[in-house]
Structure 1
Amino acid sequence: MSERCPECEGKRYIVTSSKKCPECKGSGKSKSIDLMKLSEKDVANFLSSGSACPKCEGTGEIKEKDTCSKCKGKGVMYSCRTCGAAIDKLVGEEDEICESCRRKQIVYKLDDSCTIDEIEIGKLYHCVVNSNVAFGTFVDINSKIRGLIHSSNIKEVPSIGDSLVVSVKEIRNNNKLDLLLRNISAYQIVEIEKELPELKSSKLSEKVGKTVRVHGEVIQVKQTAGPTIFTIDDEAGQISAAAFESAGERAYRHIDTDMIVSVTGEVQLRGENVQLEVHSMKRLTGDYENVIRSRIEKAIDSRAEPHGIDFLIRSDVLEKLRPAMEQVAREIRKAIIRSKPILLRHHADADGMTAAVAIERAILPLIKEVNGADGEYYFYKRAPSKAPFYELTDVTRDVSFALEDAARHGQKMPLVVSVDNGSTLEDLPSFRIAQVYDIDMVVIDHHHPDKEVDQFLKAHVNPAHVGGDYSITAGMLCTEVARMINPDVEKEILHLPAVAAVGDRADSDEARDYIKLVSNRYSLQDLKEMALALDYAAYWLKFSSGKGIVDDILDMGDHSTHRELVDLFCEQANGMINEQLEACMTHVKVQKLPNGAILNVLDVENHAHKFTFPPPGKTSGEVHDRLCQKYEGQPVVTLGYGPDFAVIRSKNVKMNIPKMVRELHDEIEGSGVSGGGHLVVGSIKFVEGMRTQVLAKLAEKIGAVEVE
């Protein structure tokens, strides 16, 4: 671009000073003139106005002039057509740009959402060579826009796939592009996408057949035999976006879960579901990513807020636990909304199973609502733990399956919900492994807690945190949390706290209130039979969730099937318990301790049937129940032991088993003592060679505690 120099006004010089002309003495008139040398016109001028002084050209002044420094004597200023800065040297039209802009000259790169409408003549565009023909080279500006560089503009034929810079010479009537190859060594790429208003997922159904743009977080990438399906979450819900590269080939390989993306595509119906056919997808970074992510997180936090409920019973302990219970419910709801798989881990006994089923019943409808009818199979799993803690066997399985699902289905790592497990030091090794793989965990438990576990948990519910004890069981706690997650399931899970209370022999006002709550539907005997049937089924199910069988035991389906199954399981279980007790009761050794407690000791390794129901823990509990009846009203402790373990059951004895375990570990060198449980019910492990010393010291500690 050019314009007259504003400094010299196009004269090319600047007047610095002036003085009177020495020739004409300032008159501007010449003193003498040779008429013979004048033209006819000059003679006429001379006769009318006189002769001008040749020295000062009739001005009477002599001016001192300097070449204009601004335009360098050109009289014209050239400026950069990009930034407007002055240009010192101009060679041709191509050079009407300053060196600074030349180094960062803009080349536009159009994404696949752009059409011919975004093309402007004269601008520079990035393109990729598609094919070479006799009359030129075809290039792709994006997947929809193709143009031709005529052979007359090409010195060296490029290779297919090469990246080039072109300018648009002409857009013909048929939307064909004539392009010029531009050899630019340094430039700045500016990505361009079609200008479209951002649309929320909740509005997609109103735009079928239209091209739209959405922003959100990728929560799953699933490769099918055809397209790649991206599940994208924005603040209003989820979007299924199908991108096709070729059959079975992963589209947009650089896009993965947890990324914030901008997606442009056409809204289409697939059956009754809306799907976005992707035209373009790109990852958002920097400030824009932060804004979108913050917006999504805020919306998800709002949607994940637990329901405000009144507890089924009145309990000061439950009220004090409400914030922790709401936090667990919030984390579970958030995981569901974000399509994060949920792995429900529970102790394999009546309390643990009722706790898990309560949560399961609450979350499955929500998982299906978010992820479709088959969402349960991809985003949920329930698994029992044989031990009363999260074993290394458990976490190894869980991590392995989670990694396989992440690789196969593009899923996130799961949220592990541990119920009737997870509060003790025995859980720490597994928690540390889970943390390596960024697996989030929440715990609802009533075993005596150790504060060290909290650093690994996003939320932790335990009655001991607020002055309660084990008599408020996991089944009770989980039923209330389930109602916070999804209040619609209240009727079908109303009886689960009562089954849990009976199964765990809970003796508290809360337990009695939960039992009373369902007394119009189930007698105390009904509840005991359900609890026994659960324990019996858990033994034979091993590591299987046994979903259908467990549901029938808990009267979640056909009532006649429930009654028939419970009767059968109780008949078999009671028969095996009686057979076991008949074999072992005569081998129980009884002694009275210094504090007045009656200690009953049984070697379950040598004097009870192995590898059958009831297992050692259940056997010790049944022996304890019979001895409590025999010594009714007295303090009773039953100790069932094997080569490297001991199971403790007590009544009317104020023990603290977790504390005893720590003391035994410190006091008996080389014993390898570990374990825990509730304050008055638990188990201990030790090395086999130290059994005598450990059991003797344990009996001594039991004999020193207070009795009721």
Structure 2
Amino acid sequence: MGSCIICGTSTDGFICESHEEDVVFEFEGSHANQLTPGRFYRGSVDGFAEFGVFIDIGDSVTGLLHRSELDSRLESLDWDAGDTVYVQVTDVHDNGNVDLTWSIRQADREFRGSLVDTPEGDELPDEAEAADPNEHAVAGRPATDTSEITTDRPRTDGSASADTTADTDERDETNGTDGANERDGAALAEPESESEPEPDADRERVAVEALESRVGDPVRVEGRVASVRQTGGPTVFELRDESGSVDCAAFEEAGVRAYPDVEQGAVVAIEGRVERHRDDLQIEASGLTVLNDEERDAVEDRMETALAERARPEEVEPLADDSAVADRLDDVRDLAGLIRRAVLDSRPVIVRHDASADGYVAASAIERATLPLVRDEHAQSDAEYHYFDRRPLGEGVYDMDSATRDITTMLDANERHDEKFPLFVFCGVGGTQASADGLGLLALYDADRAVIDDEGTGDVEAFVDTTRTTAGALAANVAVHVDPDVRSEIEHLPAVSFWEDSPEAYADLAAEAGYDTERTRDLRESVALVANYQAYEDKRELVADLLFDGRQSLAARLATQFREKLDTAIGTAQAHLERHEIDGTVVNVLDTDAFTHRYDFPPTDLLCDELFRRTCEDATAARSDDREDASVLLGLGEDELLVRHGGDLDIDAVAEDVAERAPEAAVSVGAAGDRLEFLVGERETVREATIEVVAEQA
């Protein structure tokens, strides 16, 4: 029986079941059947093909990383033959073929441990040959592995610099690993080397940002443990204070967890010597202590003050002169501050948005502003995948099904990777009562929620009302408060988000950025088209190509497809419209269950919107009297009835009256707030009752 190199719990071997995916393996076998599916392996690029990349796992086995498993296009990869990459084995076939998937962690430092997969079983890496986790580290981040350090450093006794190799004996002396000085995690270790200074609890604290000038000196740093990683040598504690973060390497013995009681989130003081390895800084810890109440409070207050100041958005002007934004500017800035605070606090930002043109535009604006902040704050190569995600909602409402998936993913990330609970931002969804239960489930776990939508569902951390405007226009203004530098990149987005009657100020702003009316329309329609397919996927690169990367020909081509498909569907629908005129009100009914392609473009909502504009609004405009709400369109599905109107028709009142006339139909207002839901068996009864009711109320 052994202990887990990540958490120290008793387990067979070196890794417990809950942390199997936190370890990267070096493969020393000679046959594919010796690989273990599900494990992450360090490999090297062997070659490229049209269908993917061949990856060598060890010296004798090659697997295929299919292009469908990559998060970026094959031709955009910056890998060269021989480059080290990190992959997960998904399957080993009987014929020896090995299927791989890409790991978003592309450096040793981004795993919490390292082991060797041999034919005889798992082993700890040999210290002298252990992979250097800094080989692929991003410049500017501290080093993580002190198992073998060679560096020129100034000596504290004033003698000349020497080329010093920290071998095992030296580490034993400086870190107290010879058994004579056991650590209990609650007090600073007593070093035995005469060359190391006595740890001093009264030593002046040094801010992380000042460590650059203290290389070779003993220091004391205080802050919160942002992460804990176990390498083949030391345990690495990433410490974050109010000015930055630094890795602190504490050595017990090879692959053994130092200070096993100290976990992510603990407020600690660490003493040790500042070292430089390659271009990165780290602290070789000689002692670590968890701070008591008074000391902890002082550190947390200092960090909170600095964090609040950094998170506060700049006072920037809105994108354009828009009263709808001006009336909500405080709410816009509050939401921007929440997003900035989440990133600075190492919490993921999850944007949930409607799978519509407006929803994609809104979420993409926030994504465009947040990712640079994530990259600046977190130097890991895969930081944007850890700390930002965009997830469309195909059903247009945040129901319990969606919330349950989010909670499950959130808890799994917290359990496996100590990931903090995210901030959820809802764009074009979350405002109706139908989302209240889903938002309430998030609240039970203290996950922060912010909503950009019409109406309000109650207690959320931030709410921006879209009445008289679009989610895209408001989200773009949130974005420039998150990061003012993206202003020029997103100035055209508000005009794209309006399906018709875009405010002149936004149309002019888009034109100045090079997006005239035709190009803006192409963007809107092309995004609406791709939003319909794979509705639950973010389609990050495709949407970025359309909205930001100047792929004008792509947008124009997709927009042409959009119009051709929509025109065909409209022609079919108009031929099957039922027209009812009651007391001067025209009620058009389309049986969407019978006369639309339900699983192809356009979706029923978009079709009914356009059908209403072309048929009902045109008919209303042609009337000779002053009535503006004389036409209504009903889209009758299997168990729901969409209502499109040009006036102030109260859907709740309609539902109440229809329920009285069809008491066996269980009529209610649908989740999206623009339709009635009913029992399938009462379809015809509901149809007749609704025609009568809307004619009376229109």
1:304 deviates by 0.6
Contact 2:397/2:671, CA 8 A, preserved across alignment: no
Q: Residue 426 of structure 1 corresponds to which residue in structure 2?
A: 434
Distance (whole Å) between structure 2 residues aligned to residue 346 and residue 258 of structure 1 = 31
Q: Work out the number of aligned pairs and report it.
A: 511
Is the alpha carbon distance of 1:141 and 1:613 closer, same or farther for their aligned partners in structure 2, counting shifts above 3 Å? closer
1:366 deviates by 0.5
Contact 1:220/1:231, CA 8 A, preserved across alignment: yes
Distance (whole Å) between structure 1 residues aligned to residue 213 and residue 656 of structure 2 = 64
1:534 aligns with 2:527: yes
Q: Residue 703 of structure 1 corresponds to which residue in structure 2?
A: 695
Contact 2:657/2:693, CA 8 A, preserved across alignment: no
- Select 1:477's aligned residue among 474, 478, 482: 474
Distance (whole Å) between structure 1 residues aligned to residue 426 and residue 173 of structure 2 = 54
1:438 aligns with 2:446: yes
Distance (whole Å) between structure 2 residues aligned to residue 391 and residue 231 of structure 1 = 37
Q: CA RMSD in A?
A: 3.3
Q: Residues 87-98 of structure 1: matches in 2 within 5 Å?
A: none
Contact 1:225/1:247, CA 8 A, preserved across alignment: yes
Tell me the TM-score normalized by structure 2. 0.67
Distance (whole Å) between structure 2 residues aligned to residue 261 and residue 701 of structure 1 = 68
- Select 1:303's aligned residue among 304, 310, 320: 310
After superposition, the C-alpha distances for 1:276-314 in whole angstroms (9 at most, x for unaligned) are 333333322322222221221111111110111121222
Q: Secondary structure at the match of 1:454?
A: coil
- Select 1:516's aligned residue among 498, 502, 508: 508
1:640 deviates by 1.2
Paired AA for residue 563 in structure 1? Q
Q: Residue 683 of structure 2 corresponds to which residue in structure 1?
A: 691
1:677 deviates by 4.5
Q: Secondary structure at the match of 1:254?
A: coil
1:203 aligns with 2:210: yes
Paired AA for residue 143 in structure 1? G
1:271 deviates by 4.1
Contact 2:218/2:273, CA 8 A, preserved across alignment: yes
Contact 1:220/1:411, CA 8 A, preserved across alignment: no
Q: Residue 491 of structure 2 corresponds to which residue in structure 1?
A: 494
1:487 deviates by 0.5
Contact 1:141/1:147, CA 8 A, preserved across alignment: no
- Select 1:616's aligned residue among 604, 611, 625: 604
1:265 deviates by 2.9
Q: Residues 655-670 of structure 1: matches in 2 within 5 Å?
A: 655-657=649-651, 660=654, 668=663
Contact 2:577/2:590, CA 8 A, preserved across alignment: yes
Q: Residue 230 of structure 1 corresponds to which residue in structure 2?
A: 237
- Select 1:403's aligned residue among 411, 414, 417: 411
Q: Residue 286 of structure 1 corresponds to which residue in structure 2?
A: 293
Is the alpha carbon distance of 1:602 and 1:523 closer, same or farther for their aligned partners in structure 2, counting shifts above 3 Å? same
Distance (whole Å) between structure 1 residues aligned to residue 279 and residue 192 of structure 2 = 42
Q: Secondary structure at the match of 2:328?
A: helix
Distance (whole Å) between structure 1 residues aligned to residue 660 and residue 233 of structure 2 = 62
1:623 deviates by 1.7
Contact 1:221/1:257, CA 8 A, preserved across alignment: yes
Q: Residues 559-708 of structure 1: matches in 2 within 5 Å?
A: 559=550, 562-594=551-583, 596-628=584-616, 630-633=618-621, 635=629, 636-651=631-646, 653-657=647-651, 660=654, 668=663, 671=666, 673-675=668-670, 677=672, 682-705=674-697
Contact 1:208/1:268, CA 8 A, preserved across alignment: yes
1:628 deviates by 3.6
Contact 1:661/1:675, CA 8 A, preserved across alignment: no
Q: Residue 542 of structure 2 corresponds to which residue in structure 1?
A: 549
Contact 1:219/1:412, CA 8 A, preserved across alignment: no
- Select 2:336's aligned residue among 329, 338, 358: 329
Is the alpha carbon distance of 1:597 and 1:293 closer, same or farther for their aligned partners in structure 2, counting shifts above 3 Å? farther
Paired AA for residue 486 in structure 2? V
Is the alpha carbon distance of 1:397 and 1:273 closer, same or farther for their aligned partners in structure 2, counting shifts above 3 Å? farther
1:249 deviates by 4.9
After superposition, the C-alpha distances for 1:344-395 in whole angstroms (9 at most, x for unaligned) are 1111111011101110111111100000143112111111111221133322
Distance (whole Å) between structure 1 residues aligned to residue 444 and residue 582 of structure 2 = 47
Is the alpha carbon distance of 1:567 and 1:691 closer, same or farther for their aligned partners in structure 2, counting shifts above 3 Å? same
Q: Secondary structure at the match of 1:576?
A: helix
Contact 1:228/1:244, CA 8 A, preserved across alignment: yes
Q: Residue 377 of structure 1 corresponds to which residue in structure 2?
A: 385
Q: Residue 266 of structure 1 corresponds to which residue in structure 2?
A: 273
Q: Secondary structure at the match of 1:638?
A: strand
Is the alpha carbon distance of 1:383 and 1:144 closer, same or farther for their aligned partners in structure 2, counting shifts above 3 Å? same
After superposition, the C-alpha distances for 1:490-541 in whole angstroms (9 at most, x for unaligned) are 0000000000013xx3x47xx3321222224222222222111111101113
Distance (whole Å) between structure 2 residues aligned to residue 431 and residue 325 of structure 1 = 20
Q: Residue 42 of structure 2 corresponds to which residue in structure 1?
A: none
Is the alpha carbon distance of 1:200 and 1:661 closer, same or farther for their aligned partners in structure 2, counting shifts above 3 Å? farther
Paired AA for residue 299 in structure 2? I
Is the alpha carbon distance of 1:262 and 1:603 closer, same or farther for their aligned partners in structure 2, counting shifts above 3 Å? same
After superposition, the C-alpha distances for 1:615-641 in whole angstroms (9 at most, x for unaligned) are 111221222222046415153322212
Contact 1:245/1:251, CA 8 A, preserved across alignment: yes
1:542 deviates by 2.1
- Select 1:416's aligned residue among 415, 418, 424: 424
Contact 1:664/1:673, CA 8 A, preserved across alignment: no
Paired AA for residue 589 in structure 2? V
Contact 2:634/2:641, CA 8 A, preserved across alignment: yes
Which ranges of structure 1 fall in alignment gaps of 5 or more residues? 1-138, 149-159, 163-167, 176-191, 464-468
Is the alpha carbon distance of 1:223 and 1:415 closer, same or farther for their aligned partners in structure 2, counting shifts above 3 Å? farther
Q: Secondary structure at the match of 1:648?
A: strand
Distance (whole Å) between structure 2 residues aligned to residue 258 and residue 173 of structure 1 = 31
1:389 aligns with 2:393: no
Is the alpha carbon distance of 1:617 and 1:274 closer, same or farther for their aligned partners in structure 2, counting shifts above 3 Å? same
Contact 1:654/1:705, CA 8 A, preserved across alignment: no
Distance (whole Å) between structure 1 residues aligned to residue 441 and residue 393 of structure 2 = 17
Contact 2:174/2:193, CA 8 A, preserved across alignment: no
Q: Secondary structure at the match of 1:422?
A: coil
Contact 1:140/1:147, CA 8 A, preserved across alignment: no
Distance (whole Å) between structure 2 residues aligned to residue 284 and residue 440 of structure 1 = 28
1:430 deviates by 1.3
Contact 1:658/1:676, CA 8 A, preserved across alignment: no
Distance (whole Å) between structure 2 residues aligned to residue 227 and residue 704 of structure 1 = 77
Q: Secondary structure at the match of 1:381?
A: strand
Paired AA for residue 176 in structure 2? S
Q: Residues 165-176 of structure 1: matches in 2 within 5 Å?
A: none
Is the alpha carbon distance of 1:323 and 1:172 closer, same or farther for their aligned partners in structure 2, counting shifts above 3 Å? closer
1:254 aligns with 2:243: no
1:701 deviates by 4.0
Contact 1:243/1:278, CA 8 A, preserved across alignment: yes
Q: Residues 128-139 of structure 1: matches in 2 within 5 Å?
A: none
1:260 deviates by 1.8
Tell me the TM-score normalized by structure 1. 0.66
Distance (whole Å) between structure 1 residues aligned to residue 328 and residue 469 of structure 2 = 11
Paired AA for residue 341 in structure 2? K
Is the alpha carbon distance of 1:702 and 1:274 closer, same or farther for their aligned partners in structure 2, counting shifts above 3 Å? farther
Contact 2:322/2:505, CA 8 A, preserved across alignment: no
Contact 1:340/1:379, CA 8 A, preserved across alignment: yes
Q: Which moved more, 1:545-554 or 1:657-666?
A: 657-666
1:318 aligns with 2:325: yes
Contact 1:343/1:383, CA 8 A, preserved across alignment: yes
